[in-house]
């Protein structure tokens, strides 16, 4: 039977996991599948596949998740959001996942359908918050359920304490683990873990790390997510922005250092945002394991 993330984390060894996003076309799907096959020999604890903006790629996400579950040795986590779906539609998707043998789901509210600058509008017959989706998943089957966490705070949260309270509510609803949005300062992660623990959220919180391989892309994603892009790192990268190999080398160096600080401080593992590429992630993974040898 497929392992659950809960079981893998309980083994006590640091987890290493990789996130992919669903491709927009057949060429992108071929590139993604190549990256998955290149990363598979690293024996990650699990991999996950996101929804597109506003849940726009649900069908392709489900197909990719089912293919990973069917054709690889990998434990796969499916993303599921509340965006644009009624409760009945969500139940249908959940049952499709169960039929495909998927036991692990990351339950997310999702971004506003009309864009990040628009207010959140739930489906008239849908769910308002991720904790409700956690509950629905447990009602429908024996799933291991993860949720999102935000070291620098969710863009809609007024302050860090409120954000930790929302995470605790998801834990109370039955979340088994959490994965953070990407960030660049280890102390932001450790502060979140402390705040959440103080109000009763004791589930493993896996830090998310995104290796910088493209300056403009990361700056754009950091702006959208609300992550603070460190000025020192930005300056180093902009100085070599026209030299992709040097950009990647700096990105690998910085991400490796961040991972080492997180693991030394007790993080249960590292979740890599791969951007559907394998090279930088494989380099960081090798450097971390070389230091353990």
Tell me the CA distances in angstroms from 11 to 16, 81, 143, 236, one per residue in order: 13, 28, 18, 39
- Rounded (5°) CA angle 190-196-198: 105
Q: From the candidates 19, 66, 152, 283, give the one annotated as an active-site residue.
A: 19
- Which contiguous run of DSSP H or E holds residue 105? strand 104-108
How do strand 15-20 and strand 46-49 relate by DSSP bridges? parallel
Length of the chain: 293
Closest-CA residue to 104 (of 72, 79, 67): 79
Catalytic residue list contains 7? no
- Which contiguous run of DSSP H or E holds residue 28? helix 26-39
- CA distance linking residue 181 with residue 267, whole number of Å: 14
Q: Quickly count: other Cβ atoms within 10 Å of residue 254's Cβ.
A: 20
- CA distance linking residue 51 with residue 110, whole number of Å: 9
Cβ 97 vs Cβ 78: under 8 Å: yes
Closest-CA residue to 91 (of 31, 137, 145): 137
Q: List residues with catalytic annotation.
A: 19
């Amino acid at each position: 039977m497929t392992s659950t993330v809960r079981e893998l984390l309980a083994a006590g060894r640091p987890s290493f996991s990789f996130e992919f996003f669903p491709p927009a076309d057949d060429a992108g799907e071929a590139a993604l599948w190549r990256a998955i096959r290149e990363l598979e020999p690293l024996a990650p604890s699990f991999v996950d596949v996101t929804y597109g903006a506003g849940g726009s790629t649900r069908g392709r996400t489900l197909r990719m998740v089912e293919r990973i579950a069917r054709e690889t040795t990998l434990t796969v986590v499916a993303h599921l959001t509340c965006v644009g779906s009624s409760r009945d539609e969500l139940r249908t998707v959940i049952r499709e996942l169960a039929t495909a043998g998927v036991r692990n789901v990351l339950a997310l509210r999702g971004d506003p359908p009309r864009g990040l600058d628009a207010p959140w509008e739930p489906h008239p017959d849908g769910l308002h918050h991720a904790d409700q989706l956690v509950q629905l998943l447990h009602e429908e089957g024996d799933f291991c359920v993860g949720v999102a966490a935000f070291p620098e705070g969710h863009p809609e949260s007024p302050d860090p304490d409120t954000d930790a309270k929302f995470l605790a509510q998801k834990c109370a609803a039955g979340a088994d683990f959490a994965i953070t949005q990407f960030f660049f300062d280890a102390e932001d992660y450790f502060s979140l873990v402390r705040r959440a623990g103080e109000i009763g959220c004791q589930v493993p919180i896996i830090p998310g790390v995104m290796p910088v391989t493209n300056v403009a892309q990361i700056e754009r994603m950091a702006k959208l997510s609300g992550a603070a892009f460190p000025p020192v790192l930005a300056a180093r990268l902009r100085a070599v922005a026209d030299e992709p190999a040097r950009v990647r080398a700096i990105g690998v160096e910085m991400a490796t250092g961040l991972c080492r600080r997180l693991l030394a401080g007790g993080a249960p593992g590292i979740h890599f945002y791969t951007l559907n590429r394998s090279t930088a992630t494989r380099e960081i993974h090798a450097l971390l394991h070389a230091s353990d040898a």
